[in-house]
Amino acid sequence: MTQLKMAQTVARLKDVKINERELVDEWILITYDLPVTEKGNEARQKFLKTAPKIGAMMHSKSVYLMPNTSQAQIAAVELSSTVGGEVYIWTSKLEGPQAKAVTNFYDHKIQVEIERIENRIRKMDQLTLSGKHGMSDRMRKKSGNLYTQLLFAVAQRGANPKIIQALTNLENRLIGTEN
């Protein structure tokens, strides 16, 4: 499990705890409809800023799926406090095929984010080759932030070996030890 040790080292450097887990069996699904007011906009922005840190993955517009953690529950309650908004929070404890299906859906969303960062890295490499170092450096900073958000999501989910390997590869590409 060399890959797991690498990811755990990266997680320690970023002050994130990662556990290995094949399936997640407790989930929260949040749907919301907030008014377009100053308070509604503030609540929406706060949730959207917090969402990646608590492992939330967008299911569809205004619908987020995340492992059931205390941070996810607190975020849901804070979003619910918006006057004039409608927020629904579903929790579920799944077993067997259902747990596998929801975990696979969530992992697919994680994979989409991994591919998004990989695409950014390819574009950064192209920019560097064409001498546009400033643009590449700006992209590297945002890509690093996206990677950190993804790391938080994986820490909430618990990582499987495939995700650990993908994160390790991303980290290596972002710090320039692998092309």
**What domains does the chain contain, in order, with CATH numbers?**
2-22+96-175 (no CATH), 26-93 (3.30.70.240)
Mean per-residue pLDDT for 145-161? 82
Please answer whether residues 117 and 150 qualify as being in contact, where contact means their C-beta atoms are separated by less than 8 angstroms. Answer: yes
Distance (Å, whole) CA 39 – CA 13: 36
Task: Inform me whether the pLDDT recorded for 117 exceeds 90.
Answer: yes
Mean per-residue pLDDT for 36-52? 91
Number of other residues whose CB lies within 10 A of the CB of residue 146: 18
Q: Which of 99-108, 127-136, 159-168 has the highest mean pLDDT?
A: 127-136
**pLDDT mean across residues, the chain:** 84
Phi, psi angle pair for 15, to nearest 5°: 60, 45
Mean per-residue pLDDT for 45-74? 89
Task: Kindly state the percentage of the chain with pLDDT values over 90.
Answer: 32
What residues contact residue 72 under an 8 Å CB cut-off, 6+ apart?
28, 30, 54, 55, 56, 66, 156
Please report where in the chains the tokens 């377009």 appear, as a residue.
36
pLDDT at 47: 93
Mean per-residue pLDDT for 127-139? 92
Q: How confident is the model at residue 7 (pLDDT cuts 50, 70, 90)?
A: low
pLDDT at 1: 38
Task: Inform me whether the pLDDT recorded for 116 exceeds 90.
Answer: yes
Q: How confident is the model at residue 83 (pLDDT cuts 50, 70, 90)?
A: confident
Mean per-residue pLDDT for 56-75? 90
Please answer whether residues 11 and 152 qualify as being in contact, where contact means their C-beta atoms are separated by less than 8 angstroms. Answer: no
pTM for the model stands at: 0.71
